[in-house]
Amino acid sequence: MAKVFMGFRAGAAQAAAAATQYYPATNGGSGSALTNEALLQIRYAVAGTFSNLQWYVESNSLSGVATSRLRKNGANVNLSISVTAGTTGFFEDAINTDTISANDFMSISRVAPAGSGTSTWGSGGLTYNASTDNYLRCMNAYVSFALASSTVYLCISGGGGASSTESDAQATIRSSFTCQNFSVYSGANSRPNTTTFRTRKNGANGNMSVSVPSSTAGLFEDNTNTDSIANTDTYNYSITTGAGTATLSALVSVALINTSLKSTIINSNTVSGVAVNQNVTTNIAFGGTTIANTTEATRSFRTGGDFTLSNFMIIVSANTTNVTTSVRPRKASANINQVISVTSSATGLFEDNTNTDSIVATDKMNYQIAVPAGSGTITIKQFSILFTGATTAIKTFLGLADASTKTVEGLARASVKTWEGLA
C-alpha cells in the first residue's frame, strides 16, 4: 500500500448563511457545489486512512468563521479546516486523520457562517492511504445533458462536460492498473428511457457498464466486472441515450488499483480546455478541472507523501502561437526536471518520458504554462502525471530507531536475506 494524492476543484462563491455545500472526496470534479450530499458521496470499496485536507481560499469577505470537514456516511469525522473572517490563503489540516472501512461513503462539506459577505474557495486536495495496494478514485464532474439518441464521452477525471468526439475524453494511461467499482449517481433524471454508461478502453467498450432506467435517480454500480489497463492504453467513459431530449444529471466514477505503488493524477476539461494567450504565465492545480490562475499559490498543494513523479503528459487541442510554450510541473514555486516544450502551432499529445522528479510529503506542487511574447493562443485539454510511492518496507527499515537498528544488525542470516530481497 501507498498514499495517493487527490486534487479537486470548487471554484464557486458561497455567501454567508448559505446552505452547506458538498464536494466529492476524490480526484477530479469541479465547479458546481451541491447542497444534496448524497449526489456527491463516493463509495470506497477498500479500507484506509485519509489525511491532509487542504483548500486555497481565493477571496473572503465573510464576517464569521467558515469550515470544511471530511464526512463519512453523512457525518463529520476528524479532518477539518476553519477559515476566520476575512482571511485568505492556504489552509491545511496536517494533524488529524480519519480511518474508514470498506464501502464507507465519503464527501467533503463547506459550511458558511451566519452574518454577511461571501468567500471563494478555489482548489483543494486530500491524501488517501489504502489498506491494500494503491486505490485511487477518479471522478468526472457532475454533468447534465439532454441529448436524443446520442453517444457522448467523458474523461475519467476532471470536468468540462461531455464531448461527441471520443479523442477529447481519452486519457493515455501510464503503468498498469485494474479498474473497478464503476459507479453512476443519477441525481435528476426525467429521461423517458434507459441511459447506458460504460467504460471505454482504446476506443472500444470496456467490461464495466451501468444502465439507468427512465425517470430513475440514485446510485448505480458495476461491482462485478473489471477492466485491465496496460501501459499506453487509453481509457474514458461513454454515455448513450435513447430518444427524447429530457435531462439527466449524473456523477461518474471509477477506481484505479495498482499493486506496484503507482497512481496517476489526471486533470481534464473535456470540451473547452484551458486557453492561454501569448505573454502569459499561468498555473493549474494537480487534479480536478483545468482552471488556470496567474497566482501560483492558489494552485499549489501538498501531496501528503513521498513520491517519484514521471511521465508528465499533456494534450494540446489547439495552438495558434508563433512561439514555443513551456509546460511543466513545479515544486515549491520552482522549476524541476520535467518539462514539455510545445513548438509554434503544434497540437496533439506531448510527454516527457525521460526526466523524473522526487518529492516529499511537505512539497507544494502545481503545473505551470508559460507562453512567451509573440502572437496566438494555446489550448490544453488534459494534464496527467504518474506518481510512484516509496516502498513501505524499505521506508520502515530506514526509519528505525538506533536500538532497533542494532536489533536488525543482529538478525540471523536468514532474516538478513529476507530483508535484502525486499522489492
Q: What is the CA radius of gyration of the chain?
A: 22
Cβ(313)–Cβ(290) under 8 Å? no
316 shares a domain with 384: yes
State whether 232 and 144 are in the same domain. Answer: yes
Q: Are both 127 and 208 inside the same structural domain?
A: no
Q: Can you tell me whether residue 332 is helix, strand or coil?
A: coil
- What ranges make up the beta strands (E) of 241-396? 248-258, 262-268, 274-277, 280-284, 301-302, 307-319, 325-331, 334-335, 340-342, 348-352, 357-359, 364-371, 377-389
- Examine the domain organization and report whether 297 and 214 are in the same domain: no
Residue 276: left if φ>0, alpha if ψ -120 to 50, beta else—which one? beta
Q: What is the DSSP string of 79-110?
A: EEEEE-TT--EEEEEEEEEEEE-TTEEEEEEE
Q: Tally Cβ neighbours within 10 Å of residue 164.
A: 12
CA 317-318-320 angle, to 5 degrees, is: 160
Q: Considering the domain boundaries, does residue 423 fall inside one?
A: no
> Residue 366: which region, alpha, beta or left (left: phi > 0; alpha: psi -120 to 50)?
beta
Domain ends where: 259, 284, 318? 259
Whether 395 is in a domain gets the answer no
In-domain check, residue 416: no
Q: Rounded to two decimals, what is the model's pTM? A: 0.88
Residue 397 host element (H or E): helix 392-398
CA 418 to chain centre: 37
- Per residue in 93-109, pLDDT (tens digit) is 999 999 999 999 999 99
**CATH number for the domain harbouring residue 280:** 2.60.120
Asked whether residue 254 falls in the same domain as residue 282, the answer is no
Of 195, 227, 259, which residue is a domain's last? Answer: 259
The torsion defined by the Cα of 297, 299, 304 and 307, in degrees rounded to 10, comes to -110
- Domain extent for 321: 272-389
User: Which residue in 369, 362, 292, 293 sits closest to 330, CA to CA?
Assistant: 369
State whether 24 and 61 are in the same domain: yes
Q: In this structure, are 112 and 14 located in the same domain?
A: yes
Whether residue 84 is contained in a domain is answered as yes
Quick check: 252 and 221 in contact, CB under 8 A? no
The number of folded domains in the chain is: 3
Q: What's phi and psi for 111, nearest 5 deg?
A: -115, 120
CB 328 within 8 Å of CB 313: no
Contact 6, 125 (CB under 8 A): yes
Q: How many CA atoms lie within 13 A of 283 on its CB side?
A: 23
Give yes or no: residues 211 and 309 share one domain. no
Q: Are residues 97 and 191 in the same domain?
A: no
Q: Is residue 305 situated within a structural domain? A: yes
Q: Give yes or no: residues 287 and 230 share one domain.
A: no
Within-domain flag for 407: no
Which of 259, 280, 314 is the last residue in one of the domains? 259
Nearest Cα to 363, choosing from 69, 127, 29, 83?
A: 127
Q: Which residue is listed with cell 439518441?
A: 149
- For residues 225 and 203, membership in a common domain is answered with yes
Q: How far apart are CA 253 and CA 418, in angstroms?
A: 40
Does 415 reside within a domain? no
CATH, residue 99: 2.60.120.40
Q: How far apart are CA 86 and CA 215, in angstroms?
A: 44
Q: How do beta strands 27-28 and 134-145 pair?
A: parallel
**What was the pLDDT predicted at 40?**
84
Q: Which residues contact 96 (CB under 8 A, 6 or more apart)?
A: 51, 78, 79, 80
Q: Does residue 45 lie in a domain region?
A: yes
Q: How high is the mean pLDDT in each 10-residue block of the chain (423 residues)? A: 81 88 83 77 94 95 97 98 97 97 95 96 91 89 87 91 92 94 92 96 98 94 96 96 93 91 88 94 89 93 93 97 98 97 98 97 96 98 91 37 34 37 40
Residue 406: enclosing H or E segment and its boundaries?
helix 402-409
Q: For 158-273, list the strands marked E by DSSP.
A: 171-172, 177-189, 195-201, 204-212, 218-222, 227-229, 234-240, 248-258, 262-268
Both 122 and 146 in one domain: the answer is no
Going from the C-alpha of 138 to that of each of 6, 41, 82, 104, the distances in angstroms are 9, 13, 27, 16
Length of the chain: 423
